Structure 1
Amino acid sequence: MKLSRCFTALAAAAALTTAFTVQAREYSVSTVLSDAFPWGQAATKWAELVKERSEGRITLRVYDNAQLVAGDQTKEFSAMRSGLIDMAVGSTINWSPQVPELNLFSLPFLMADNADIDAITQGEAGQMVFKAIEKRGVVPLAWGENGFRELSNSKQPIRTPNDLKGMKIRVVGSPLFQDTFSTLGANPTQMSWADAKPALTTGAVDGQENPLSVFDVSRIDQVDQKYLTLWHYMADPLIFAVSPNVWKGFSAEDQALLKQAAYDAGRWEIESSRAAEAQRLASIRSRGVEVTELSADERQAFIDATAPLYQKWEKRIGVELLKAARNAAAAQ
């Protein structure tokens, strides 16, 4: 009798283990940068929160360096939409070829500071952007942040648009980036980040633009980038998102868990990244980089020079979306 009860207990335990194994699932999360950077840390934090709150039923495995799309970060959105990638913490820049509305954040000098970013992403404009992403077949959950992009080069301090004349600047694969730097008289050169560092080393390109976190962690000063201009010309919000087929497979409770974890991971990453900016800048200066901070009048000259781009791009981005974003920033 005791032996029978023992076998019954073992069978019940085995059944419970089997049920748990069937329910537990691992999902891929694509990101471009590793957790040495705030971007990768956002994805890692999301994975940690989901595992903890689901008690291990849901595991998110982070694949950095865009390895799930063979390093081509502009294909990340399409891969998630088709189900080749389950989830991603992605860049508005990289997803803009598939979601034109995301070019909003690449418009030069739309946002002056963090308050403007928050007002746009957390208000009506942010809701409109999320609806545009949903319309293109991906489920957006929350915002993160890659920071304002600053300009560095190997030639000279840059204080005016004239200082950029003829300078070869590495840019990401975005037509709006090409337009911005061409308008300023530079020679924009599109290339992946893997190709950019060798090109900076050899002098094939003179400069690049990236957030301070990328400049600092990647030690861009080591590839002859001796001059850094803080011009805050655009910011790159990150987006936590899920493939629609994967999303439909979750219960309502797990959908809520994933969304809240994404929101919490995003807020954590934004706050920690912003808090580290002063230390990053001090570290960059300590390595001998000459940092130029533009005066209000100097920055205005760049704003005036790039103003014609708004007329060209507002229809592609959406007149009402741009209006909502401008109103949000103006209200600060």
Structure 2
Amino acid sequence: MTRRALTGSLAALAIATTALTGLASGAYAQTSLRMAVPDPAGSSVGRAATRFAELVSEKTDGEVAIEVFPDGVLFGGDQNAAVNQLGSGALDGLILASSVYASFEPKMNAISLPYLFADYDQLQAYLGGEPGDELLASLDRFGIHGLGFFLRTFRDVTTRDTAITTAEDFQGVTLRTPNNPLFVALFEALGANPTPMAFSEVYSALQLGAIDGQENPVEVPYNNKFSEVQGQLNITQHLADSFLVALSGNAWDSIPEEHREAVQQAADEMIAEHDAEEIAAEQDIIAKLQDEGMQVNHFADGKLERVQEIARSIYPEFEDQIGAEFMQKSLDFVNQ
């Protein structure tokens, strides 16, 4: 039995009414919690949080309520601080990228090993199966109760002028990356110039030419109008990321036991819905960016294999951080 299945029968999350939906039932809920998300209410993660709150309210008959706070307002926009606040109980709930959690639990880097997953089916099976359950369990020692992961679409590179169709095209390109050693190591290996930078600074840095490009799931350049300052959308699909739905241990314990299974079911249902929507929307977003003037580039025939070879060469650098046993478990999972 996986941890999620076990958790689904023993525990779950508290929520019903959201600041986004304005459900009045929250005032009468037996348990009311506040959930923070980093992005706007209308973003992918904002919509996921709202749907989760709706499902929890439905499945607990309004006895568990969640109020969703978008735009990072509950943690001042500092995502590392948000994880600390969740562990201490200062935040009740949080939806945040698994790559941020990697600063606290290096095992999380396994999700983002470059070119680990062949497709979304494999990524979903990993996040929803035994490897994902082990990652959720690893947060217990921080006072964080993980409910599950929902996927983000694979990350792609945008650039101002450079079309990336071979490994050599990365040479000398200055790319903004998150402040995560794995991302930096990947692009250094490819010959690019990775530049960690707060996301709030990216648009202006692109506009001023301080950086040549950035990398993110395609939703990010679309929602942030990067087509105004970037001409090339390079479908590199170089690594995966996910969002982790979690509660503080204190918040989890505050949920009456009779509602926990329903809350876990709400998380699982939201994740399934969200994953299907994200995957379906990816090609539509690419088409919209193309309509906005971006040129869409793919690796030339036979060139992806060389990029994958270079990218996977960094795996040994992270074996000690991730843990040799869990890294091997991850590799065995995708190769089975």
Give RMSD over aligned pairs. 1.7
Cα displacement (A) at 1:296: 6.0
Aligned to 1:251: 256
- Of 263, 266, 272, the match for 2:277: 272
**1:69 alignment partner, SS class:** coil
Cα displacement (A) at 1:177: 1.2
1:55 maps to a residue whose letter is D
Aligned to 2:73: 67
The answer to whether the 8 A contact 1:39-1:146 is kept is: no
**2:328 alignment partner, SS class:** helix
**Aligned residue pairs: how many?**
311
1:262 and 2:267 are equivalent in the alignment: yes
Cα displacement (A) at 1:160: 2.2
- Of 140, 155, 159, the match for 2:146: 140
Aligned to 2:84: 78
1:275 maps to a residue whose letter is A
Deviations 1:37-95 (A, max 9, x none): 22221111111111222333322111222222211112222110001110111211111
Aligned to 1:174: 180
Aligned to 2:158: 152
Mean Cα deviation higher: 303-312 or 293-302: 293-302
The answer to whether the 8 A contact 1:38-1:146 is kept is: no
Shift in alpha-carbon separation, 1:303–1:213, aligned structure 2, 3 A: same
Cα displacement (A) at 1:254: 1.9
- Of 55, 58, 69, the match for 1:52: 58
Q: Distance in 2 between matches of 1:203 and 1:154?
A: 9
Q: Distance in 2 between matches of 1:38 and 1:28?
A: 19
Q: Distance in 2 between matches of 1:105 and 1:270?
A: 16
Structure ID, larger Rg: 1
What does 1:59-138 correspond to in 2, within 5 Å? 59-138=65-144
**1:239 alignment partner, SS class:** strand
Q: Distance in 1 between matches of 2:286 and 2:126?
A: 26
What does 1:15-54 correspond to in 2, within 5 Å? 24-54=30-60
User: Quick one: percent identity of the two aligned structures?
Assistant: 27
Cα displacement (A) at 1:22: 7.2
Cα displacement (A) at 1:183: 1.6
Q: Distance in 2 between matches of 1:68 and 1:96?
A: 21
The answer to whether the 8 A contact 2:160-2:212 is kept is: yes
Q: Distance in 1 between matches of 2:34 and 2:118?
A: 35
Shift in alpha-carbon separation, 1:157–1:55, aligned structure 2, 3 A: same
**2:33 alignment partner, SS class:** strand
Aligned to 1:210: 216
Q: Distance in 1 between matches of 2:85 and 2:301?
A: 42
Cα displacement (A) at 1:325: 1.7
Q: Distance in 1 between matches of 2:303 and 2:110?
A: 23
TM-score, normalised via structure 2 length: 0.88
**1:52 alignment partner, SS class:** helix
Mean Cα deviation higher: 94-103 or 162-171: 162-171
1:106 maps to a residue whose letter is S
1:211 maps to a residue whose letter is P
The answer to whether the 8 A contact 1:36-1:217 is kept is: no
* Runs ≥4 residues deviating over 6 A: none
Aligned to 2:243: 238
What does 1:7-22 correspond to in 2, within 5 Å? none
Q: Distance in 2 between matches of 1:21 and 1:306?
A: 51
Q: Distance in 1 between matches of 2:134 and 2:105?
A: 12
TM-score, normalised via structure 1 length: 0.89
Q: Distance in 2 between matches of 1:21 and 1:289?
A: 48
- Of 287, 298, 322, the match for 1:293: 298
Shift in alpha-carbon separation, 1:330–1:296, aligned structure 2, 3 A: farther
Aligned to 1:220: 226
Shift in alpha-carbon separation, 1:85–1:296, aligned structure 2, 3 A: farther
Higher helix share: 1
**2:314 alignment partner, SS class:** helix
Deviations 1:115-163 (A, max 9, x none): 2202211222112212212233211112212221100010210122321
